[in-house]
Amino acid sequence: MITIIPAIDLIDAKCVRLSQGDYAQKTVYNENPLEVAKMFEDAGITRLHLVDLDGAKAKHIVNHKVLELVASKTNLVIDFGGGLKSDEDLRIAFECGAKIITGGSIAVKDRETFLHWIETYGPEKIILGADAKDKMIAVSGWQEVSELSILEFIESYTSKGIRQVISTDIARDGMLTGPSIDLYKEIMSQFPDLGLIASGGIASMKDIYELDEMGIPGVITGKAIYEGRISMDEIRRYNLKNS
For domain 3-241, give the CATH number. 3.20.20.70
Would you state the pLDDT for residue 20?
Answer: 64
The list of the chain residues with pLDDT below 50 reads: none
Q: Determine how β-strand 136-139 pairs with β-strand 195-199.
A: unpaired
Would you state the pLDDT for residue 126?
Answer: 98
> What residues form DSSP beta bridges with 136?
133, 149
Active-site residue set: 9, 131
Can you tell me the distance from the alpha carbon of 61 to that of 170, in angstroms, rounded to the nearest whole number?
A: 22
Please give the radius of gyration of the chain, using alpha carbons only, rounded to the nearest integer. 16
> What residues form DSSP beta bridges with 211?
none
Would you state the pLDDT for residue 141?
Answer: 52
Residues 6+ apart with CB under 8 A from 203: 176, 177, 178, 224, 229
Would you state the pLDDT for residue 18?
Answer: 77
Would you state the pLDDT for residue 197?
Answer: 98
Would you state the pLDDT for residue 70?
Answer: 98
Can you tell me the distance from the alpha carbon of 202 to that of 212, in angstroms, rounded to the nearest whole number?
A: 13
Model confidence, pTM: 0.94
47 with 100: CB under 8 angstroms?
no
Q: Which amino acid is at 149?
A: S
